[in-house]
Homo-oligomer: A and B are copies of this chain.
Amino acid sequence: MLIVHKYGGTSVGSLERIKNVANRVAKAKRDGNSLVVVVSAMSGETNKLVDFAKYFSPNPSKREMDMLLSSGEMVTASLLAIALSEMGIDAIAMSGGQAGIITDGVHTYARIKTIDTGAMRREIDRGRVVVVAGFQGVNQNGEVTTLGRGGSDLSAVAIAGAIGADACEIYSDVDGIYTTDPRVEPRAKKMSYISYDEMLELASLGAKVLQNRSVELAKKLNVKIIAKSSFSEAEGTVIGEERDGMETLLVSGIALDRNQARVSLKDVSDRPGIASEIFTKLADENINVDMIIQNASSNGLTTLGFTVPESELPKAKEIIDNFDHDIGGKDFDSNICKVSIVGVGMKSHSGVAATAFTAMAKENINIEMISTSEIKVSMVIEQKYAELAVRTLHSVYELDK
């Protein structure tokens, strides 16, 4: 099989751990597979380099930041190739550019445009393990670009798609995707399979194993991802296309996001352009608005509610406070959390949301806001009920079975 491995910063966080990764790669190679291995910078390195740059400038040039930060992955890639060679596994290290990863010109948050797989294929055909520095590419002028946080996942998925790999194994310090956060609900179970769409919802709701950009790309390129731990032999979770038989599972997982704050605007004039005006001002300040709910108007006045990251509430409050027209009352609450249930089964089954609402009511948990998508129901509740809500929902959908 042709497989892409990707090892994150924690998995290559020390020389011992890089050796451990080399052992894993060597085993997979000896088992007869062809391999491309994508690596992150050793954990802590990227932050160290960012701190270095901040010493000189609060707003360092993005082009130079890319050149600076890309060095971390180059170091890991070189070291892993050296470790593999020492074990008798023929290996070659490549920068993103050498691996043919061409991006647009947006420094620090570039998008991969194409991958010229010629160099990688040549080395694979020679029986070599290709070790690629993740998180980076080059733009059309040959300048180094980086792909933003989680960019190494993106490199791995893009490469897997471009070379037609059978799977893209993403290694981290957790051994897969769980039905919910095991620190909140010890009876959480590791899923053996989850669809791209479910993973997308879970990731955007705070499950941190995989970033959305790479899941989106995997879905688009139809790359099978396997999320695994580099510290154990446990089977991971496969992230792939929706499968027959999935309908039987109503709900796949419960996500909890504690870092949200609620903004409620009352008696807002119900005329075109008001919402646009408010959210444009928030966007101008780079405030990430998540849930947005507007109730149908009755007397020409409406209620507008939305959530923002807790850390951005002060900035949001300032903007709203300076908004001097068309708003009757306002209410800010950072003492909330968002609990979400996710499952492709919801598409074809009614009553999934109702089950959730009933369960919450039984526990006397008041739901302040509700937002739904095709495969997700999110509820904003008081923060103190967070764990109770997660455990209740985990149980009512029988995720521990």
* Contacts from A to B (Cβ < 8 Å): 15, 18-19, 22, 49, 52-53, 55-57, 60-61, 63-65, 67-68, 70-72, 74-75, 77-79, 81-83, 85-86, 92-93, 95, 97-98, 142-144
Q: CA A63 – CA B98 in complex, angstroms? A: 13
The distance in angstroms between the C-alpha atoms of A60 and B15, with both chains bound, is: 15
Specify which chain B residues have a CB less than 8 angstroms from the CB of A52 in the assembled complex: 15, 75, 79
Interface pair B49/A64, CB less than 8 Å apart: no
Q: CB distance B93 to A56 under 8 Å?
A: no
**Contacts of A81 on B, CB cut-off 8 Å?**
61, 64
**Judging by beta carbons under 8 Å apart, are A78 and B68 in contact?**
yes
**Is A57 a contact partner of B74 (Cβ separation < 8 A)?**
no
Which residues of B sit under 8 angstroms from A72, Cβ to Cβ? Answer: 71
Copy tally for this chain in the complex stands at: 2
Q: Which of chain B's residues have a CB closer than 8 A to the CB of A144?
A: 95
- Chain B residues with Cβ below 8 Å from A70 are 74
In Å, the complex CA distance between A77 and B93 comes to 22
**Cα(A99)–Cα(B25), bound, Å:** 35
Determine the main DSSP class of A at the interface with B. Answer: helix
Across the interface, which residues of B come within 8 angstroms of A57, CB to CB? 82-83, 85-86
Structural contact, A79 and B56, CB atoms closer than 8 A: yes
Given A60-B85, A68-B82, 14 more A-B residue pairs with CB atoms under 8 Å apart are: A18-B56, A22-B56, A49-B75, A56-B82, A60-B82, A60-B86, A61-B85, A64-B79, A67-B78, A68-B79, A71-B74, A71-B78, A97-B142, A98-B143
Determine the chain B residues whose CB is within 8 A of the CB of A22 once the complex forms.
56
Nearest neighbor of A133 in chain B, beta-carbon distance: B67
CB-defined contacts of A55 to chain B, threshold 8 Å: 15, 19
User: A45: shortest Cβ distance to chain B, in Å?
Assistant: 10
8 contacts between A and B (CB under 8 A): A15-B56, A52-B79, A53-B78, A56-B86, A64-B82, A64-B92, A65-B82, A67-B95
Residue of chain B at shortest CB distance from A143? B98
* Distance, CA A22 to CA B15, complexed state (A): 34
- Closest CB pairs A-B (n = 5): A68-B78, A57-B86, A71-B71, A56-B83, A60-B82
Of A22, A49, A79, A85, most B-chain CB atoms within 10 Å: A79
Chain B CB within 10 Å, residue with most, of A56, A81, A144: A56
**Nearest CB of B to A83, in Å:** 4
The closest CB in chain B to the CB of A57 belongs to B86
